[in-house]
Chains A and B, each alone.
Chain A
Amino acid sequence: MKQYPWNKWRHLFSPSSKKNQLLIDDDTIWQASAHFNMPGPPDALESWRNLQTQLNRHEIAAGPSRSQIAWFPRPRLALVFTIMLLTTISLLWIIPVFHGERYSTVYAQFKTVMLPDSSQVTLNCGSQLIVDRQFNQVTRTVRLNGEAFFNVRKGTLPFIVETTIGDVRVTGTSFNVKIRDDRLDVGVASGIVLVSAQDSTVELTKGFQTVCMNHDVPAVPTKIANSLFPDWQHNRFYFENTSITAVCHEIERRFAIHIELSDASLSAIFISGLLEADNPLSAMISLCALIQKEYRHEDDAFIIY
């Protein structure tokens, strides 16, 4: 017999079948098809930045489009229009009423926002950011619900992230803020950050994190154990002694999927470690491997059993 890979499934052959036909069933094909070695997709935000650069290059190389040429038949008209546009933008910039901006992401969505001071905020899935109407005038204040990574440009005005639990104050640095129910987590990638809650303040330096729970004061800073910090920007989930329910909520938020536990006793499981977060399947596979359980996909839900 010729050496085909599926000679390994000899047990699936029927010795009496005509033409030595392989009795491979739909279920085996269905299961095996999901085991294709698929690498994680390239980082979406990084790719988006590359795409923007490429688009800008294309547009510069192409020159004005046909529609633009039709709009500006004469260079003088184009100049007048540009001046009017710049004046309008300047007016909008001066009048504070136009400053208040809201940004939000739904489940399975990320968004990078450039603030007027050139600070950059990347919102994780299911998060909201409100930029103060007078941002960049007296203070640089934003209000966050959910999770975001901040890359704050150095400036004379303090940059403040307000949350329902506590505030984070910096001058120029990069850090991650995460709010879940009554818990606030802050970790610093570079620079110095002050975290305040209940009239108490702690100072965080690079590589340190703190947590405020149940409206208590910020905890004593600890070193960030996860080398891939912040986890969500590296397509990973990092958990430290986290309940399976909370883990499932994070995966649901990330991929806009629904996860159910087949048995209430499973909710007593707590896990620590890194999980793959390239796609829903890789997350479910690595979670189930970690807790030594299985999952099945039924209707619109992943069921862990």
Chain B
Amino acid sequence: MPENEIALLQQLKHADRDSFQTLYLHYQPILFRHVYYRVKNYASAQDIVQETFIRVWQQRESIKPEKSFYAYILTISENLIRDQAKHRTVREKYKYVILPVAESLGDHPERTFDYQQLAETINRVVNKHLPEKCRTIFILSRINGHSTKTIANILHISPKTVENQLTRALAILRKKISSDL
């Protein structure tokens, strides 16, 4: 999280666009990866992230600087995801670019293929079966690549809670993937 997040949030409450920009540039990619992991549609994820920040600006006076800003924008975007699921207005405008994940695995193309298919299965289980907090922490860790300490800082929780939630996520994933057979 930005070093001076509390100060930035206090300034945002007073309609300071520079502070808002700093927060936006920091959290936009993190939130985008979370939303994309949930909706798996580039244009929808982009729209939800933009709409989330519009709502943040509109409701800036109600922001509580001492609380986790990421948790706040996550709540807004999860509500938007739910609304979108209800109305099903998903657009299929853009095709996404696949990162060259395979390159890192060098001599094991089969392993790459298997890993990617398993990653898709994990995605379905995460979206369907993980509780919200558990899911948030799992995505921050595995998709955004944040460490336990960073996640704890972003969400204003203890590192122990992060570890417990990740253990819980793995247990649910292991159980669900196995029982789906």
Contacts and interface: CB of A to CB of B under 8 A. Distances in A.
Contact of B50 (A20, A24, A47, A285): A47
Interface stretch (B69-77, B83-91, B115-123): B115-123
Contact of A106 (B3, B46, B117): B3
Interface string A268-305: 00000000101111100110110010100101100000
Contact of B121 (A6, A58, A288): A6
A37 B101 contact: yes
A28 interface: yes
A38 interface: yes
Contacts of B120: 5, 36
Interface of B is mostly: helix
Interface residues of A, number: 61
Contacts of B37: 36, 38
Interface string B47-80: 0011001100110010000000000000000000
A21 interface: yes
Contact of A278 (B99, B104, B114, B126): B99
A297 B145 contact: yes
Interface string B28-60: 110011001100001000100110011001100
A111 B114 contact: no
Query: Max chain B CB contacts within 10 Å: which of A9, A35, A40, A48?
Result: A35
B156 interface: no
A276 B24 contact: no
B97 A40 contact: yes
Interface in A1-36: 2, 4-6, 8-9, 19-26, 28-36
B177 A33 contact: no
A276 B118 contact: no
Contacts of A288: 104
A41 interface: yes
Interface string B112-140: 11111111111100100000000000100
A50 interface: yes
A282 B177 CA distance: 26
Given A48-B25, A55-B57, A289-B106, 19 more contacts: A5-B118, A6-B117, A9-B114, A23-B178, A29-B118, A32-B118, A32-B122, A33-B173, A35-B119, A36-B120, A36-B122, A36-B123, A40-B97, A44-B28, A51-B50, A108-B26, A279-B145, A281-B145, A300-B150
A288 to B, nearest CB: 6
A23 B174 CA distance: 9
B100 A286 contact: yes
Contact of A37 (B96, B106, B149): B96
A45 B28 CA distance: 10
B24 A44 contact: yes
Q: Classify chain B: how many residues form its interface, as a range.
A: 35 or more
A6 B177 contact: yes
Interface of B: 2-3, 17, 21-22, 24-26, 28-29, 32-33, 36-37, 42, 46, 49-50, 53-54, 57-58, 61, 96-101, 103-104, 106, 112-123, 126, 138, 142-145, 147, 149-150, 170, 173-174, 177-178, 180-181
A22 B181 contact: yes
A1 to B, nearest CB: 9
B50 to A, nearest CB: 6
Interface string A193-219: 000000000000000000000000000
Nearest to A280: B145
A43 to B, nearest CB: 10
Contacts of B173: 29, 33
B99 A39 contact: yes
Contacts of B149: 299-300
A62 to B, nearest CB: 8
A38 B33 CA distance: 7
Nearest to A258: B147
B98 A39 contact: yes
Contact of A32 (B22, B61, B103, B115): B115
B121 A42 contact: no
A111 B25 contact: yes
A110 interface: yes
Given A39-B36, A276-B100, A280-B145, A51 B54 contact: yes
